[in-house]
Amino acid sequence: MKPLIEAFEDLFIVENGQHPKLMREFLGSRVSLETMIILDELVNYGPDWNRALEDDIVWNNLDNLMDNYERFLTIDQEQYKIRLLKLIEESTDNGTSRRVL
């Protein structure tokens, strides 16, 4: 996930009905389902994807899978928010991070 941090906001953008980069990374088995759920908890990309990809069967199936799996996860949002911000800070050249959450 670390190489993806440099363009964090770009991970969630849906352009012209195409799957966002984060979803493609998941489908390519480079991002785990748990990571997808944690990021959705932190940045709440799900509603935007639901609007942009409402007729996309792949997204609808993934969204259902995430909803079902999330019930079994215990997520400490503060812990993961701190870890994510630390990753973003480490990935910037000058050591300062942009506020993304």
| pLDDT for res 87 | 78
> Which phi and psi angles does 90 have, rounded to 5°?
-65, -25
Do the Cβ atoms of 59 and 23 come closer than 8 Å?
A: yes
Query: How confident is the model over 41-88, as pLDDT tens digits?
Result: 999 999 999 999 999 999 999 999 999 999 999 888 899 898 888 877
Over residues 51-61, the pLDDT tens digits come to: 999 999 999 99
pLDDT at position 65 is: 97
Distance CA(6)–CA(89), nearest Å, equals: 9
